């Protein structure tokens, strides 16, 4: 799948050559490929050239990746990771309780990491640096050069192994000439987003780039009890790059970034009372209730006026080094990232103190990758070998206010633990171009992973203190990939590949009451079969790409339920011994007439558990409601749908009208549809998130030079009331509502 808006040639070169191959070796590029690569320093010119069909070289790469330019990200309002689901098929990204942490589902592969201490099956990368914990990407989505979403198992050519795929984000590089720019976006609910950058030379071979952003306002929720306002952003971030090129074969880049996020979060709304007899609040759209008791505020050391929100600080630095030795290119990527988080969420979604939660997380991640690759894309033989070391450390403190959760609890509680993790991976990939434009390839990955949880203590203030001994888990696994591609014609390619993915196990550390809750969940593996094609039947007028897939799971990691006697059901990440999923995705880009450009992404998927014995949470809650006694209702969800949205659609249409020969007026709609989603295995009724459809539109005015642009836009123009995610903390089932209609204006300049 490809992006509908043009990128500079350099963006194509970086994605298909510098870091080739993402999922498989490309068919060797045409004769102009070397010149394309040489244009890489001009990658900052993301708005100066607009071609309808971007990433032309990627059409010869056998993968199902969605490649998106910086311009398209801006047009679709993608300013956070969650926004990427607007431009890629079969992708769902959901906030954890409205916070900056996200759960990813790509082709249905993913899981709900409510404990926020595990690696996601879909990894996020910034400039080839893996962000093990997705929250560390908070505030980083600015001054981008483009994005790539790759589904399916990865890891045989770079980075870390996982089972679902990866989101690869490119930030803009320093330039050899002076450039600067700024962007101001103002919208409904006093929302303001500002960006600026400056880039240029410092000395011979030495260039720099400095960029920053701020976000303020935009809160659209109110509390009907007191009229309090909620949801305002309060974020600022900086990124700096220093690049040194002593010759045309060597590049050294030093990058650093810092984010301070004190934004309020979106509060959940209660959908159904599971425990107790208190009436749920009657809330209108854009209303929510929350509360913070002074005693709880004192315990966590925050002001009694605190609203649900973040108090996060992220920073990091990385060093990229590459040198072309002639027959091979050496690449080294060293990175260190730190996160300090504090977030308050009201997880009973009412003014009662039945599940008010406050979490602090201190974490750091170090990664070191070395990669040696063949240097000449035109050679028949292409190869990559490398290794990556990754180490992370985390400490969490998790506080709950259960004061109004009577008669079951009625107390303040906390859990504290540490997490240590370390992994080493070696990988290799080789491809060979046979006669008749046929290419075969194979890749192999080996990974060692060790992790342990330490010092876990659960405290009931004024009551008991429970101390638990540490647990550990280790994995020693292989993953691999093999495939074949055929460039049938100049503008049509067919490929088939098989990929085995591996993801290490971990722990569900959350309100722990018994030692058994710390039993680690096992690693998961998935064997994926994929058949795809890429075609430009009418070059520069029609592009059709598609892929079909089948996933064979073993020990799929999934959010399940455990029942603690006298305490109630608690969520835990567990394993479904056997499951499967299948589906397809496609992209159509078409220019039916000279001034109209339309793109449509489509994703469809199904999945079922073949063997998954666990506690049936819905039935267990129903039994308690009827009898007032907790009894585990066990079930095997064999044959039950896995619950991921079956159909996802997103796309846009744009009419480009010349005005007075020197200007253009671009306007059109965009749309997004996501099917219903079961939030618990076998979930029906309120346990299934309703489907939704969103419509947006924009009008942009720009000169031919594209040095500046003015845009008026609308998001959720129909003002649909919808929900992005949902879940259960204790007494109620709750949904996280999506944003209402936003109407705004944006002006930007680049010189």
Distance CA 714, CA 712 (A): 7
Whole-number pLDDT of residue 9? 34
pLDDT over 80 (residue 6):
no
Whole-number pLDDT of residue 39? 36
Whether residue 296 contacts residue 399, with contact meaning beta carbons closer than 8 Å, is answered with: yes
The arithmetic mean of pLDDT across residues 408-429, rounded, is: 94
pLDDT over 90 (residue 58):
yes
DSSP letters, 514-539, are SGGGGPPBPPEEEEEEEEEEEEEEET
Give the percent of the chain with pLDDT over 90: 77
Query: Is the sign of the CA dihedral 192, 724, 2, 159 positive or negative?
Result: positive
Tell me the pairing of strands 663-674 and 613-615.
unpaired
Q: Domain ranges in the chain?
A: 9-750
Query: Is the sign of the CA dihedral 52, 56, 62, 67 positive or negative?
Result: negative
Whole-number pLDDT of residue 216? 98
Whole-number pLDDT of residue 42? 36
Whole-number pLDDT of residue 25? 41
Whether residue 706 contacts residue 47, with contact meaning beta carbons closer than 8 Å, is answered with: yes
Whole-number pLDDT of residue 748? 96
- Give per-residue pLDDT as tens, 533-581: 999 999 999 999 999 999 999 999 988 888 887 777 777 888 999 999 9
Phi/psi for 623 (5° steps) reads -65, -40
Higher pLDDT, 25 or 694: 694
Whole-number pLDDT of residue 2? 39
pLDDT over 60 (residue 233):
yes
176 dihedral zone (left: phi>0; alpha: psi -120 to 50; beta): alpha
Distance CA 279, CA 260 (A): 39
Q: Please count the CA atoms within 13 angstroms of the CA of 651 that sit on its side-chain side.
A: 16
- Give per-residue pLDDT as tens, 482-510: 999 999 999 999 999 999 999 999 998 87
> pLDDT-derived band of residue 705, with 50, 70 and 90 as boundaries?
confident
Radius of gyration of the chain (CA): 25
E strand or H helix at 620: helix 617-627
- Give per-residue pLDDT as tens, 87-127: 999 999 998 888 888 889 999 898 888 888 888 899 999 99
The candidate with the shortest Cα–Cα distance to 405, out of 443, 468, 350, 335, is 350
Distance CA 168, CA 3 (A): 14
pLDDT over 50 (residue 8):
no
pLDDT over 70 (residue 403):
yes
347 dihedral zone (left: phi>0; alpha: psi -120 to 50; beta): alpha
pLDDT over 50 (residue 17):
no
Whole-number pLDDT of residue 195? 98
Report residue 564 as tokens.
């603690």
Residues 581, 724, 614, CA angle at the centre, nearest 5°?
A: 45
Whole-number pLDDT of residue 23? 40
The arithmetic mean of pLDDT across residues 462-472, rounded, is: 92
> pLDDT-derived band of residue 441, with 50, 70 and 90 as boundaries?
very high
- Give per-residue pLDDT as tens, 285-307: 999 999 999 999 999 999 999 99
Tokens 């988080």 -> residue: 341
Report residue 663 as tokens.
């200007």
Superfamily of domain 9-750: TonB-dependent receptor, beta-barrel domain (2.40.170.20)
Tokens 């990229």 -> residue: 320
Collapsed DSSP state (helix, strand, coil) of residue 495:
strand
Q: Give the sheet arrangement for strand 269-273, strand by strand.
A: 269-273, 732-737, 723-728
Whether residue 402 contacts residue 409, with contact meaning beta carbons closer than 8 Å, is answered with: yes
The arithmetic mean of pLDDT across residues 133-152, rounded, is: 94
Distance CA 309, CA 421 (A): 28
Query: Is the sign of the CA dihedral 97, 98, 100, 103 positive or negative?
Result: positive
> pLDDT-derived band of residue 51, with 50, 70 and 90 as boundaries?
low
Mean pLDDT of all residues belonging to the chain: 90
Collapsed DSSP state (helix, strand, coil) of residue 389:
strand
On the 0-12 / 13-18 / 19+ scale of CB atoms within 10 A, 416 is middle
The arithmetic mean of pLDDT across residues 354-359, rounded, is: 94
pLDDT over 60 (residue 7):
no
Beta pairing partners, 412: 401
Whole-number pLDDT of residue 680? 82
């Amino acid at each position: 799948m490809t992006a509908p808006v043009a990128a500079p040639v350099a963006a194509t070169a970086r994605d298909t050559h510098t870091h080739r191959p993402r999922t498989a070796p490309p068919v060797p590029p045409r004769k102009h490929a070397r010149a394309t690569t040489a244009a890489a320093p001009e990658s900052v010119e993301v708005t100066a050239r607009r071609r309808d069909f971007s990433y032309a070289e990627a059409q010869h790469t056998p993968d199902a990746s969605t490649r998106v330019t910086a311009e398209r990200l801006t047009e679709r309002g993608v300013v956070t990771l969650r926004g990427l689901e607007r431009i890629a098929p079969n992708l769902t990204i959901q906030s954890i309780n409205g916070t900056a942490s996200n759960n990813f589902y790509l082709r249905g592969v993913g899981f709900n990491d409510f404990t926020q201490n595990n690696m996601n099956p879909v990894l996020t990368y910034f400039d080839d640096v893996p962000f093990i914990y997705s929250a560390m990407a908070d505030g980083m989505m600015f001054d981008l050069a483009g994005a790539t979403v790759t589904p399916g198992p990865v890891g045989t050519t770079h980075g870390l192994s996982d089972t679902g795929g990866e989101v690869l984000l490119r930030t803009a590089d320093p330039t050899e000439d002076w450039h600067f720019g700024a962007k101001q976006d103002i919208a409904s609910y006093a929302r303001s987003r500002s960006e600026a950058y400056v880039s240029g030379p410092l000395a011979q071979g030495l260039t720099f780039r400095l960029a920053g952003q701020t976000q303020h306002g935009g809160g659209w929720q109110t509390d009907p009890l007191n009229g309090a306002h909620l949801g305002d952003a309060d974020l600022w971030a900086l990124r700096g790059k220093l690049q040194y090129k002593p010759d045309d074969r060597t590049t050294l880049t030093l990058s650093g970034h810092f984010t301070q996020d004190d934004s309020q979060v979106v509060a959940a709304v209660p959908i159904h009372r599971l425990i107790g007899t208190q009436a749920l609040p009657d809330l209108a759209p854009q209303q929510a209730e929350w509360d913070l008791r002074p005693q709880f505020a004192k315990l966590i050391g925050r002001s009694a006026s605190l609203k649900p929100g973040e108090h996060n600080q992220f920073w990091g630095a990385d060093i990229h080094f590459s040198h072309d030795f002639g027959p091979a290119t050496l690449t080294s990527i060293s990175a260190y990232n730190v996160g300090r988080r504090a977030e308050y969420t009201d997880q009973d979604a009412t003014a009662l103190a039945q599940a008010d939660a406050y979490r602090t997380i201190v974490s750091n991640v170090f990664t070191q990758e070395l990669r040696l690759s063949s240097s000449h894309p035109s050679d028949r033989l292409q190869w990559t070998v490398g290794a990556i070391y990754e180490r992370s450390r985390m400490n969490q403190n998790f506080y709950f206010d259960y004061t109004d959760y009577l008669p079951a609890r009625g107390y303040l509680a906390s859990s504290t633990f540490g997490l240590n993790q370390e992994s080493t991976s070696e990988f290799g990939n080789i491809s060979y171009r046979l006669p008749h434009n046929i290419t075969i390839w194979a890749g192999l990955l080996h990974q060692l992973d060790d992790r342990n949880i330490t010092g876990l203590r659960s405290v009931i203030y004024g009551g008991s203190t429970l101390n638990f001994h540490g647990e550990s888990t280790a994995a020693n696994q292989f993953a691999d990939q093999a495939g074949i591609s055929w460039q049938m014609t100049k503008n049509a390619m067919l490929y088939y590949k098989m990929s085995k993915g591996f993801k290490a196990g971990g722990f569900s550390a959350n309100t722990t009451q018994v030692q058994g809750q710390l039993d680690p969940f096992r690693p998961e593996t998935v064997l994926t079969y994929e058949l795809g094609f890429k075609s430009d039947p009418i070059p520069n007028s029609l592009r059709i790409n598609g892929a079909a897939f089948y996933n064979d799971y073993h020990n799929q990691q999934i959010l399940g339920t455990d029942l603690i006697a006298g305490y109630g059901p608690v969520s835990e990440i567990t394993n479904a011994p056997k499951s499967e999923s299948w589906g397809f995705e496609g992209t159509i880009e078409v220019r039916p007439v000279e001034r109209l450009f339309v793109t449509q992404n489509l994703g469809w998927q199904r999945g079922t558990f073949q063997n998954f014995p666990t506690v049936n949470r819905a039935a267990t809650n129903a039994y308690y409601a009827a009898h007032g006694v907790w009894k585990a209702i066990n079930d095997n969800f064999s044959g039950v749908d896995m619950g991921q949205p079956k159909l996802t659609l997103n796309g846009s249409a744009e009419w480009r009208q010349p005005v007075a020969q020197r200007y253009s007026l671009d306007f059109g709609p965009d749309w997004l549809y996501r099917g219903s989603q079961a939030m618990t295995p076998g979930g029906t009724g309120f346990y299934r998130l309703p489907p939704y459809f969103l419509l947006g539109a924009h009008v942009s005015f720009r000169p031919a030079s594209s040095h500046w642009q003015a845009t008026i836009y609308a998001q959720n123009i129909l003002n649909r009331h919808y929900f992005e995610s949902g879940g259960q903390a204790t007494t109620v089932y709750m949904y996280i509502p999506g944003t209402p209609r936003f109407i705004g204006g944006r002006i930007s300049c680049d010189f």
